[in-house]
Structures are given as structure tokens and as C-alpha cells.
Amino acid sequence: MRITAALAGNQNSGKTTLFNRITGSRQNVGNFPGVTVEKKTGTVKKLRHIEVVDLPGIYSLSPYSPEEIVTRDFLIKESPDIIINIVDATSLERNLYLTLQLIELDMPMVVALNMIDQVKYNNISIDIPALSKALGVEIIPVSASRNIGIAELLDRVEYIAENRIKPESNPYYPATVGQAVSAVCELPALKNNKAVPAGFAAVKLLEGDEPMEKELNLSEDDMRELSLIARCLEGSLDMDREAALAEMRYLRIEEICRAAVKKPDFETASRKRSAAIDSLLTHRYFGIPIFLGIMFLIFWLTFGVFGSTLSDLFESGIEYITGLCDTALSSANVNENLHSLIIDGVFAGVGSVLSFLPTILILFLFLSVLEGTGYMARVAFVTDSMLRKIGLSGRSVVSMLLGFGCSVPAVMSTRTLPADHGKKMTILMIPFMSCSAKLPIYSVFTMAFFEKQQALVMMALYLLGIAVSVLYAIILNKFYFSGKPTPFILELPEYRLPTASSVIQRMWENARDFITRAFTVIFLASIGIWLLQRFDIRLNVVTDSTHSLLAAIGRFISPVFAPLGFGDWRASTALITGLVAKESVVSTLAVLYDAAGAEFAASSLAHMFTPLTAFSFLVFTLLYMPCVAAMAAIKREFVKTSTALYAMLYQTLIAWIVSFAVYRIGLLFI
């Protein structure tokens, strides 16, 4: 029997961790909202007939946000064989609100009571049989991060799905509400409907759920009857119907937890610790400076302590392999042009990029630890008030933080933003965030010109990108996308030590993407650059690259960059290839100089740049239009190609203006 299991739960309940655990899928596990943007699918490792669908993290089945719409539509329209409701055992009161609504769907269901190890650590006692009886659904205690109870959970998932075991009916509302629900169920639209469970639909209609009204296609007579029932209900309850039903759920949850959960009279050590840390990290005035200090420390450790040493070792290995291949090709009397293509093209281009793999791994090691501890949620919290002043909310911070990794998933994550103006503004701000693909460029130039100030220069570039994006957003909010920021609800989870597996997985994901680009996009770009600098406009082989076709192209556009301090045709060419992939900037310069790594950074670039022009070049690289993959993602979200194209042109113009200002102001001090 083929089984489809829908994995549903609150954000930060460990849902994606459980999904990765049971499917072996390489998903991004984050400790802040917005990581799971769309549903993801995977098959259980040892039970290949069970397909698991990871739905967006939500707090309710009332469709107020895009995540809730995606989840509810899937559950209702796709009718999975079973729902796996993952519940954070340390926050039962909050998580059970969604559980009660899922039970109303009248579908086979099992509750995965996650973080059971944290419950024991905090001296919390949960009577699982009593909790299961009160909810009318089977509950399996698990710890997704520590692989506790997973085998038993999968066994019960298979059994419950195959036997179509539904939750026991255990209404939480009084007789007056029950009568109203029964009356709504008698409406012709519900009696003739087979797609949506009648009880669930009736409750949603009583709550004034407009999407449900459209889904059932209620007639005018049905609407009049529904309105009459709702008014009678509000009259008997003496309060708003939606608020009344919500209050009844919370009262039921309170009753269940009072009977099944026993917490220590004292505040748990972990909560005390989290509160003490938050008093500093989320401080009204010190929160953002502390964040900047943490980022500076990460950059210093990455580029000044660990990264440079490991990159030098890695580079030595690449040079050794390059030397072996060079000797082998010479011994075999391989054609001179082919020899040059392999050594001066492929090895110089790809090798120059790969030498920075250790640096990128170390940076993402630190970022993964910050994310896994729960600190990134605090960053969203402390920046919310600032973003609200420019028409955005803290929800946009999630997408912007993702932009430091890669602009493509960051742009896609904006689909969860409820307000259209906020979504468009966030999309246009994301390319100004310094993505990881630019790290090799920063590493090469800071190594060559700012060896003792690498961390400081890196920090300055990241802050400049953020500052320019904020100024751009202010202009957009004033003249183009004006609107009020939407309410922002964010859970601050307790601080936890991330598991080694999740940190290593995140590092591997970034390493895999980096290596894939190196041996595909960068590989092809390196060959293309070698060919263009090997032949002239008449396709004759040239011995001096200054007479090549590539030089002709570079000289044609170099006047545009001359006012910025880097009018050399090689710099112009590198910026063009950077549109394919930002790492191509490094590989292009390496191919043009027939060098790589430290030799390339220390000697070759010194002939083309000064420290000031190098910083001006870095500023332009930071701010100009993103790679083609990111541009395609932006185009998909904006729909109109012209709108996306204008946005990219405006961004490049901004990059030119800022770089020009940096160069001209710098000249005043030299």
C-alpha cells in the first residue's frame, strides 16, 4: 500500500529536522520562521512505500498567511493517508491549538511529541496516556534531533494509515456551539459536499472563514441561513463568534495540560538561561551592536585565524596537483594549445575558486551554529522595529538573512510575505545582501591589499550592503511601494546547542553547491575566457592577451568603470563574467594572469589595482546586479520581465554611484 503522510506542525517544533531524519533528505534546518517555504517531499529510508510531505510551519488552519493557505489546501484537497502532527513537548499549550484543528479534519492522524529529551531535562512530567485519551489520538514521544522514538513513530504511522484509524470524537465546545455546528452541517452546500469534512467546514464557516465559503460555493440561501445561525450563536455567547471558538480551544487546551502536564514550581534552568541571555542580546539599545560585534568576531576568526591557514594548505594541494598534471602533459608532448587550456584555463580558473572552499566552510560553520542555537530569531526580533519604519516587518529579515547565503532561495522565501508591497520591496533589497558566492572575491582582494584588516574590510562590505538596501527601501516605500507593515508574530525559542549532524549537514550543503558551481559554471566560464583571450577578432592565435578578442570587449566597456578607478579591460571583463556566477570574477582574473591563489592575489592584482581602487572594485562587486540565476528568480516573482530588468539596471546604477563616491572621497585622503 502506497502511503502519503503529511507532516504538519508549528514553526520551530522540529518539523524539518524530523523530515530529514526519516527521509534522509538534505533539507535546510533553521531555527527561525520562513525556512520551509513550500511543501517538500521525500520517501522514508527503510519504508520506501511511505512518502512524507513536509508542509510549511503554521500555528492555525485559519488561512491568514500564505503558509497556512498552502498547508490547509494540501490537507483538504490532496487528502493524505495520514497526518503526522509534530508537537513541541516543551510548549504544549501553544502547539495543541493546531492539533485540535487538525483533529477536526477527521483524518487518520498520529502526534509526534518532539523534544521529549528536553522535557526530561527541564523536569517536566507529561502523562502521555492521559494526554492521548484527552485528545483522542495516539501520541508517540520522540526526539528528532537525537533519533529517539523514530522507529516506533514510523511503525504507528504505517499501521494507522493502513487501517484508516481516525481520532476519536471529543468535542471541546458547549452544547450551544454543538447545536450551531450541527445546524450548519445541514446546509445543502455541506450535505452535498464530499471534498471537505462537514464538521471542520461547519466550524470554519461559523468562524467567518471566507476561503471556506468560496470553496463550498455557498448559495445566497445558504449564506442567509449561515448568517442567521451565526447571529444566534453570538447572541447566546455574548461575544464575537471567531473569538468565542478560539477561546474555547484555549480553555480545552488549558484543561488538558492541567491534567496531563506537571511542571516544576520553580523556573527551569534552560528558561532562566534563555531569559538572562535575551536580556542582553535582545536589548533595545545593545541588541544590534552586539549582533554586529558577533559578526565581526566571526569574520575575524574565519579570515584571520582559521580560514587563511586552511586555505593556504588547500591551495598548496591544488598547486601540487596542477604541477603533476603540467608535468604529465609536458612529458606526453600534448599540443601546446590544449596544454594551455587545461593548465592556464581550467586549473587556473577552477583552482583559484576551489582554494577558498575552507574559508566558506568555516564561515558557514559559525553561521550554522548561530542559526541552530536560536540566535537568528533574535536578530529578526531586534530589527523588526527598524524595518517597520520603512514599511516592512521582521518577516522580511528572514529573507534578507537567507540572502547572505544565496539570493535565489532568499527571493523564493518572500512568497510567504503577506503584503504585496512588502514582498516586492524585500525582493529588491535581497541582491544588496552579500551572498556567499562573493566570498572568493573578497578573500582574494583583502588578502592582496588589506591583509591585516581583512575582518574589518569584510564587515564594512556587509554593513554597506545592508545600509544601501535600507536607503533603497526608503525610496521605494516613499515613491513606489507605499504601504503599512503587516503584523509580525515571532516565537523566540529557548537557546539550544545545535546537533553536530545539523551543523555538518548545513556545511555540506554549502560545500556541495560551491563545488558544483566550480565544476560546472566556473569550469565552462574558465574555458570560455581562455578561448576569448587566446584568439583575436579574426580568430588568429595571439601570444599577447592584450590583442585578444576578450581585450577588445573589455576595452569597449572599460570607459564606464574608469571614473571608479578600475578602467583596466581585465577588471571590466571579470565583472561581465560575474553575471554568470560571482565566483567567475576570481576565475576570470586568474585565467587572464595565468596564476591562482596567493601568487595571483599578492603579485598580479598589484599591477592593476591600488588599495583604494581595489576597495572601489569590491564595493561595485558587492552592489551590482546579481547572477543570472538570481535575476531569473526575481523575474519569476515579478512576472513582468521589464520590471525585473529595470530593477537590475537601477541596482547597477546604484552600485556605480556608490563606488564612484567611495573612490572620489578616498582620493581626498590620499
Domain harbouring 231, CATH code: 1.10.287.1770
SS3 content of the chain, % helix, strand, coil (to 5): 65, 5, 25
The Cα 41–Cα 298 span in angstroms is 34
Number of domains in the chain: 3
What is the value of pTM for the model shown?
Answer: 0.67
The pLDDT value recorded for residue 348 is: 77
**Is 74 part of a structural domain of the chain?**
yes
Residue position matching grid coordinates 515571532:
490
Residues 349 and 227 in one domain: no
Domain hosting 622: range is 288-483+500-668
Contacts of 666 (CB under 8 A, 6+ apart): 612, 615, 616
**Is 351 part of a structural domain of the chain?**
yes
Q: In sequence order, what are the beta bridge partners of 126?
A: 261
Contacts of 630 (CB under 8 A, 6+ apart): 406, 407, 408, 411, 431, 435
Residues 196 and 329 in one domain: no
Residues 438 and 553 in one domain: yes
**Is 494 part of a structural domain of the chain?**
no
Here the CATH number for the domain that contains residue 13 is 3.40.50.300
**Is 639 part of a structural domain of the chain?**
yes
**Is 245 part of a structural domain of the chain?**
yes
Residues 560 and 632 in one domain: yes
The pLDDT value recorded for residue 28 is: 42
Question: Taking the C-alpha atoms of 311, 513, 580 and 367 in order, what is their torsion angle to the nearest 10 degrees?
Answer: -70
Which tens digit of pLDDT belongs to each residue from 511-548?
A: 777 788 778 877 887 888 888 888 888 778 877 777 88
Residues 158 and 188 in one domain: no
The pLDDT value recorded for residue 81 is: 93
Residues 11 and 144 in one domain: yes
Residues 128 and 215 in one domain: no
Q: Which of 262, 280, 305 is the last residue of a domain?
A: 262
The pLDDT value recorded for residue 70 is: 78
**Is 268 part of a structural domain of the chain?**
no
Residues 242 and 318 in one domain: no
Residues 416 and 548 in one domain: yes
Residue position matching grid coordinates 604529465:
328
The dihedral sign for the CA sequence 523, 527, 528, 533:
positive
CB 53 within 8 A of CB 39: yes
The pLDDT value recorded for residue 64 is: 67
- Tell me what the pLDDT averaged over the chain comes to: 82
Positions in the chain short of pLDDT 50? 27-37, 596-599
Order of strands across the sheet with 109-114? 40-43, 50-54, 3-9, 82-88, 109-114, 138-141
The dihedral sign for the CA sequence 412, 414, 417, 418:
negative
Residues 335 and 438 in one domain: yes
Residues 247 and 394 in one domain: no
Residues 223 and 334 in one domain: no
CB 30 within 8 A of CB 376: yes
Which tens digit of pLDDT belongs to each residue from 92-118?
A: 888 999 999 999 888 999 999 999 888
